[in-house]
Amino acid sequence: MAAVAAARAYQNPLEAHQDFLQLFCGSEQGQRVLRQILVWGFAWGTSWHDDPRAHACNEGKRILAHKILSTATVPPPQLRTRAKKPKGE
């Protein structure tokens, strides 16, 4: 199972970003699905639970939701442009 999962993982961050951007931001339906994932992943609230195991599970959901969001919305390093500092600073 691990070999199958590894074989399906993105090898190219740019390809992952483009796919996630298209899937989650390319349509109203995709945006609704992304919002629901973020709700399930406690993106805008607390993941705290009195039971440490439930809290750990909630944190796992939170990490996954944030990973999906960042893959869709933050370009990989090769696409980022940095503002150049003026000479003399």
Express each pLDDT in 20-75 by its tens digit. Answer: 999 999 999 999 999 999 999 999 888 999 999 999 999 999 999 999 999 999 98
The pTM for the full model equals: 0.76
Q: How far is CA 48 from CA 35, 56, 62, 82, in A?
A: 20, 9, 11, 37
Task: Please indicate, yes or no, if residue 81 is contained in any of the structural domains.
Answer: no
Task: Please indicate, yes or no, if residue 82 is contained in any of the structural domains.
Answer: no
Task: Please indicate, yes or no, if residue 46 is contained in any of the structural domains.
Answer: yes
For residue 61, give its domain range.
Answer: 13-74
Task: Please indicate, yes or no, if residue 8 is contained in any of the structural domains.
Answer: no
The DSSP annotation for 35-79 comes to HHHHHHTTTTS----SSHHHHHHHHHHHHHHHHHHHHHHS--GGG
Task: Please indicate, yes or no, if residue 85 is contained in any of the structural domains.
Answer: no
Number of folded domains that form the chain: 1
Task: Please indicate, yes or no, if residue 19 is contained in any of the structural domains.
Answer: yes
Task: Please indicate, yes or no, if residue 86 is contained in any of the structural domains.
Answer: no
Task: Please indicate, yes or no, if residue 42 is contained in any of the structural domains.
Answer: yes
